[in-house]
Amino acid sequence: MVDLDRSISIATKSGKTEFGMKRAVKAARNGDAMAIVVAANAPDQMKEDVLRYASLSEIPVISYPKSSQDLGIACGRPHLTAFVTIFNAGDSDIMSAVN
């Protein structure tokens, strides 16, 4: 089993990631993301937009079981983070968390 917090932390430090819903939607539309992590308490309409575009581009979406505050902490950021777009996982094993 993958420790999601640890994997996200490593991906943000050693790979290429970006934060926020606008960037997640843009990456999903263009099909240039490796995966998108979505916090459990992300707003429903925003989550639906990201999921729709990700499914069209066949980009895996990883459901983060905790809040956006916890996701922000896992990313080493001092604020809420509902969406993390992963372009390069770096040394992380986060892709094994994809179902």
Angstrom distance (rounded) from CA 88 to CA 69: 23
> What pLDDT, on a 0 to 100 scale, did the predictor assign at position 64?
95
Angstrom distance (rounded) from CA 90 to CA 25: 22
> What pLDDT, on a 0 to 100 scale, did the predictor assign at position 98?
78
Angstrom distance (rounded) from CA 92 to CA 40: 21
> What pLDDT, on a 0 to 100 scale, did the predictor assign at position 93?
92
> What pLDDT, on a 0 to 100 scale, did the predictor assign at position 99?
60
Grouped pLDDT means (10 residues each) for the chain, 99 residues: 88 96 95 96 95 96 96 94 96 85
